[in-house]
Amino acid sequence: MSTVRSDYLVIGSGLAGLFAAIEAAKHGRVALVTKRQVEECNTVWAQGGISCVMAEINGGDSFETHVLDTLEAGAGLCNEEVVRAIVAAAPARIRDLIDLGVNFTTRGEVDHACPEEIKDQYDLTREGGHSERRILHAGDITGAELIRALAAYARRHPNIVIFENLHAVDLITTRRLGWDDPQDQCLGAYILDNESGRVRTFLASHTLLACGGAGKVYQFTTNPDTATGDGIAMACRAGADIANMEFFQFHPTCLFHHEVKNFLISEAVRGEGAVLKVIKKGRLVEFMDKYHALGSLAPRDIVARAIDRELKESGQKCVYLDIRQRDTEYLQRRFPKIFETLKNLGIDMAKDLIPVVPAAHYCCGGVKTGIDGAVDLISRLYAIGETACTGLHGANRLASNSLLEAVVMAHEAIAHSLTAPVSDSLRQRQENAVPQWTSGKAVDSDEQVVITHNWQEIRSFMWDYVGIFRTTKRLQRAKRRIRSIQNEIELYYWNFLITPDLIELRSLACIGELIIDSALSRRESLGLHYNLDFPECSASPQPSILKRIKD
């Protein structure tokens, strides 16, 4: 059957997508589409945890303190109303996750010698930019535990049908179809079956983009290969506003090792006492205290820039995390995955320094929405999680706020969908008048090298010209290259049958251009965006919103 009909179409199987599907299944039929297996998503790679004020455990913490930490990290660009709403919603959403079977680590699991009366309390850790211990975690595999529990629940639910190895191509909107409606509306999406090569039509009353981030636009990233920004790119092509794409977060501590790529050394390692050090003139020295009062626990933008500067000054290839003050037993319990991975590479966390470098990690920009994920210019379309830009993160995301945002947005999006029922006339027209995908005169490609070459070139110049430190000249050079590549891709796209690789390349080119355009439009340095030609920040920073030309 080439057409799939449901009440909700959820594209993406990370925390935002799975939680949205589970919430939506209370109200109707759900089609959840993911381009690989459900468990192969960005969330799985999350190590640190999910932020939430747990006053019953840490009486010194409060919503207000969490809000202030978030605003401080966001460099004045956060939407304070959104920040307050998401922080306040955290305890209820954490309870939901626990009810769905998520097992967060308790204090007794980390410290066998802790008093009996607190052994069952959740163990809270601290990460960069947080003034209190408020991060719930599941060892150092929090993301994997979240997906384990939610995927198992979703697979059992009778109202959820999971479609794996399918790749979203484009949104179906009334404007795209040429319908004369006063408000553009999303009707679903055209989706490629990766195995058959056939494009199927998915129709739904409500469509949710939960496609994750876009770290693969950079040469060095902590993200998996699936993080190609497909949701942002599809929404952009459909005419949605895109905001704050210049703020791409570089995680300060990606493992530097020739045998392993993309392996993150969680910020929680620094939260438990690790200190950043660099070799200068043959001596191992600490350096973060001269950059920020919080030292190695400073916000990520500051730490990443500091590391980059220290590497350039010292000529070293990496800096080091030093947590040798902690014993083996503690590190094995607290960071089992990191400890085992490093041990297999010949690095003993309790005895050896851990080599690290910054790498692209998180997209603070995305489809402009509110906390409910609703896309203003296209009704019945939602963007949630890393695909969206609510204003929570501002110019720099506070550690472990992303998983919180994902689960809160998913809940709010489904609640909003209940206030926007579909009329019978539109439903009937949707059923009868949406055409099937047609490939026209496109043929199989005999030049796959175009895809691989352009993929490599985009990632290379994005790293060199649009990375941690930028200049206007570098950005302009990147703009010329991305426009040339965009023209090649569009010509290729219409002449040859689509493949998963082509879809992802098309997405990456779109993401690259959005980041470059946003960076060029901001003539100041703010948070994650640092332009050497404009080192000062204005007194009243404003969000950067790209209003795309509708196709």
Superfamily of domain 3-247+364-425: FAD/NAD(P)-binding domain (3.50.50.60)
Q: Which of 268, 310, 270, 315 is nearest to 291 (CA)?
A: 310
Please state whether beta strands 199-209 and 3-11 pair in parallel, antiparallel, or not at all (unpaired).
parallel
User: 411 — phi, psi (to 5°)?
Assistant: -65, -45
d(CA 503, CA 192): 9
pLDDT at position 362 is 95
- Asked if residues 458 and 482 have their Cβ atoms less than 8 Å apart, the reply is yes
* Euclidean distance between CA atoms 267 and 284, whole angstroms: 21
260, amino acid identity: V
- Provide CATH 3.90.700.10 ranges for the chain: 251-361
Q: Is a pLDDT exceeding 90 seen at residue 47? A: no
Residue 128 belongs to what H/E stretch? Answer: none
Token look-up 């163990």 returns: 123
Q: Which two tokens stand for residue 31?
A: 């089609």
Mean pLDDT on 36-58: 92
539, pLDDT greater than 80: no
Helix (H, G, I), strand (E, B) or coil at 285: strand
CB 21 within 8 A of CB 32: yes
Cα–Cα distance for residue pair 52/238, rounded to 1 Å: 35
The alpha-carbon radius of gyration of the chain (Å, integer) is 23
d(CA 216, CA 511): 10
285: its two tokens: 């020295």
Higher pLDDT, 385 or 430: 385
- 300 catalytic residue (yes or no): yes
pLDDT of residue 549: 42
With a cut of 60, say whether residue 548 has pLDDT above it.
no
245: left (phi over 0), alpha (psi -120 to 50) or beta: alpha
Contact 151, 21 (CB under 8 A): no
Count of other CB atoms within 10 angstroms of residue 548:
17
Separation between Cα atoms, residue 122 and residue 463, nearest integer Å:
39
Which pLDDT belongs to residue 177? 92
Q: Where in the chain is the domain with CATH 1.20.58.100?
A: 449-540
**Alpha-carbon distance values, 219 to 46, 216, 261, 395, 464 (Å):** 20, 7, 11, 22, 9
d(C-alpha 327, C-alpha 294), whole Å: 24
Longest CA–CA span in the chain (Å) reads 75
Statement: residue 19 has pLDDT above 60:
yes
Cβ 131 vs Cβ 114: under 8 Å:
no
Concatenated DSSP letters of 133-190: --EE-STT-HHHHHHHHHHHHHHH-TTEEEEESEEEEEEEETTTTT---SS-BEEEEE
Q: Is the model's pLDDT at 551 over the cut of 50?
A: no
Topology adopted by domain 251-361: Flavocytochrome C3; Chain A, domain 1 (3.90.700)
**Whose structure tokens read 């929405």?**
369
Q: Which residue bears the tokens 């990456």?
A: 508
pLDDT attached to residue 200: 96
**Predicted confidence band at 547 (pLDDT cuts at 50, 70, 90)?**
low
Contact 408, 259 (CB under 8 A): no
Residue 526, helix vs strand vs coil? strand
Among 118, 196, 150, 198, CA closest to 32:
150
| CATH 3.50.50.60 in the chain, residue ranges | 3-247+364-425
Residue identified by tokens 């297999």 is: 344
In this prediction, residues 353-377 reach a mean pLDDT of 96
Residue 550's pLDDT is 40
Q: What is the mean pLDDT of residues 15-42?
A: 96
- Select which of 93, 126, 300, 380 is catalytic: 300
Distance (Å, whole) CA 526 – CA 301? 10
Q: Which two tokens stand for residue 372?
A: 């409910």
| Whole-prediction pTM | 0.93
Q: For the structural domain made of 449-540, what CATH number should be given? A: 1.20.58.100
Q: What residues does 166 pair with on adjacent strands?
A: 193
**Each residue's pLDDT tens digit, 282-328:** 999 999 999 999 999 998 889 999 999 999 899 999 999 999 999 99
- Per the CB < 8 A criterion, the answer to whether 314 and 279 are in contact is yes
Predicted confidence (pLDDT) at residue 147 exceeds the cutoff of 70: yes
**H-only helix segments in 100-141:** 107-110
CA distances from 134 to 101, 113, 334, 399 (A): 20, 22, 16, 11
- Buried-exposed string 415-437: b where 16+ CB fall within 10 A, e elsewhere: ebbeeeebeeebeebbeeebeeb
Q: What are the residues whose beta carbons fall under 8 Å from the beta carbon of 158, sequence distance 6 or more?
A: none
pLDDT at residue number 323: 97
User: Does position 540 have pLDDT exceeding 90, yes or no?
Assistant: no
| Mean pLDDT (the chain, rounded) | 93
**What's the N-to-C CA distance of the chain in angstroms?**
29
pLDDT at 423: 79
Neighbouring CB atoms inside 10 A of 343's CB total 15
Q: Classify residue 113 by burial, with Cβ atoms within 10 Å: 0-12, 13-18, 19+.
A: exposed
Tokens of 443: 């043929």
pLDDT at 418 over 90: yes
The least confident of 7-16, 108-117, 208-217, 391-400 is: 108-117
- Whether the pLDDT of residue 218 is over 90: the answer is yes
